[in-house]
């Protein structure tokens, strides 16, 4: 391997549209996340100077390593966007060639662009010519069992100057769930010189071990497994000697994350976008559905304060009995001291 961007044991926080803003990444940093990406940045909106898009370029002083991710397809627009991003202190610029969202695919971007090899390369080359730092790409496997099409794309990106490629081991039709083909990621690792980051389905130490054992090592990228679960970074880094959060710690992290989100976006927007974060924190942690149903009613800071008090009380009674039988369940909690 010639170029090594990440340490082999790096746990990289994925770009997550609508999620990985600065307060979100700060929450992950508190749990040891040392490599992260911004939300995907639409090249056209950036060139247009859209105010909301410009905020995607914010970086916190505690962020040791931060990459930006860009999505687009028109070489001239991408070239201008790359020039703009070159003026900001990112450690890497990543090109999105995997997004399956209809509004992206409709424009021939993301996963749709990856299917048109020549066009994808022209777009990538425009970024390469105009971006002053390291450039990577994030792709999905292009076929569920045949490695050839994905291998061809990855090799061309390497030849065009990619410093690393992240491969999500699912085809676009699967969106974000279902089986992950580690075999194809492994084939790409064997055939390329640059670092290949593995992504898909890593939501626990057990799944992490499964992936690195199958692939002969990391780095890996964490995405939905860390949503509402920044402790995933602690869990994997611990190698096993780790205590999941109790209800007080869960409530503390939720509160801090959401108050910072309100500080960053203002209370109205902050509380509105935080609802999905709150659902993520509660998922799989045994809180009653009546409490989940009350999330929609959180409209003011006092509403949120009352809600957090309920979180502090801990999950429903049956949860810890269930956990006894499911000790490897992802997103676990530990009981409050009696
Ligand atoms: C809500 C959500 C938003 C996402 N946004 C992006 C994005 O902006 N850019 C990107 O490359 N991938 C995006 N992804 C894909 C993830 O980065 C990751 O590749 C995918 O979730 C698979 O990893 P996982 O199985 O660990 O979740 C998104 C996924 C989710 C669930």
User: What is the position in ligand 1's atom list of the atom closest to the CA of 166?
Assistant: 19
User: What is the position in ligand 1's atom list of the atom closest to the CA of 203?
Assistant: 26
Closest residue to atom 23 of ligand 1, CA basis: 200
DSSP state of 224: G
CATH code assigned to 11-238 = 3.20.20.70
The mean per-residue pLDDT over the stretch 72-76 comes to: 98
Per-residue pLDDT tens for 293-329?
Answer: 999 999 999 999 999 999 999 999 899 999 999 988 9
Residue from 11, 15, 6, 172 nearest 95 by CA = 15
What is the pLDDT, as a whole number, of residue 263?
Answer: 98
What is the pLDDT, as a whole number, of residue 1?
Answer: 47
DSSP strands (E only) in the chain: 11-13, 35-42, 66-71, 92-97, 135-140, 164-168, 195-199, 220-222
DSSP state of 14: P
318 alpha carbon to ligand 1 midpoint, in Å?
A: 32
325 alpha carbon to ligand 1 midpoint, in Å?
A: 30
Tell me the pLDDT band of 2, cut-offs 50, 70 and 90: low
What is the pLDDT, as a whole number, of residue 338?
Answer: 52
Residue 198 in this model has a pLDDT that exceeds 60: yes
Torsion over CA of 107, 21, 84 and 11, rounded to 10 degrees? -90
Closest residue to atom 19 of ligand 1, CA basis: 168
What is the pLDDT, as a whole number, of residue 336?
Answer: 66
Give residues with Cβ within 8 angstroms of 88, minimum separation 6.
57, 59, 68
What is the pLDDT, as a whole number, of residue 337?
Answer: 57
What is the pLDDT, as a whole number, of residue 4?
Answer: 87
What is the pLDDT, as a whole number, of residue 335?
Answer: 84
The mean per-residue pLDDT over the stretch 286-298 comes to: 95
Mean pLDDT taken over the chain: 96
CA dist., res. 304 & res. 81, Å (int)? 38
């Amino acid at each position: 391997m010639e170029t090594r961007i990440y340490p082999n044991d790096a746990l990289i926080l994925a770009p997550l549209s609508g999620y990985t803003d600065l307060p979100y990444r700060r929450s992950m940093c508190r749990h040891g996340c040392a490599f992260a990406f911004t939300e995907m940045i639409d090249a056209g909106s950036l060139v247009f100077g859209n105010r909301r898009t410009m905020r995607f370029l914010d970086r916190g002083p505690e962020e040791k390593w931060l990459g930006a991710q860009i999505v687009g397809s028109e070489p001239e627009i991408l070239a201008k966007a790359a020039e703009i991003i070159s003026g900001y202190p990112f450690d890497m610029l990543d090109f999105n060639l995997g997004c399956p969202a209809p509004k992206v695919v409709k424009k021939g971007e993301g996963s749709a662009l990856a299917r048109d090899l020549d066009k994808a390369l022209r777009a990538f080359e425009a970024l390469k010519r105009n971006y002053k730092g390291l450039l990577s790409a994030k792709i999905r496997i292009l076929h569920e069992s045949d490695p050839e099409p994905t291998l061809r794309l990855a090799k061309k990106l390497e030849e065009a100057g990619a410093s690393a490629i992240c491969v999500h081991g699912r085809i676009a039709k699967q969106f974000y769930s279902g089986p992950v083909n580690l075999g194809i990621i492994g084939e790409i690792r064997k055939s390329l010189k640059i670092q290949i980051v593995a992504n898909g389905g890593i939501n626990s130490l057990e799944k992490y071990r499964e992936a690195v054992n199958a692939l002969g090592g990391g780095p890996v990228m964490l995405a939905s497994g860390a949503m509402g679960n920044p402790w995933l970074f602690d869990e994997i880094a611990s190698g096993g000697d780790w205590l999941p959060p109790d209800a007080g710690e869960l409530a503390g992290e939720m509160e801090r994350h959401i108050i910072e989100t309100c500080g960053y976006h203002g209370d109205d927007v902050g509380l509105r976008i935080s609802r999905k974060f709150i659902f993520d924190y509660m998922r799989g942690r045994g809180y009653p559905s009546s409490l989940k149903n009350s999330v929609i009613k959180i409209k003011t800071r006092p509403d949120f304060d009352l809600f957090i008090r309920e979180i502090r009380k801990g999950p429903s009674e049956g949860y810890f009995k269930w956990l006894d039988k499911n000790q490897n369940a992802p997103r676990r909690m530990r009981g409050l001291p009696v």
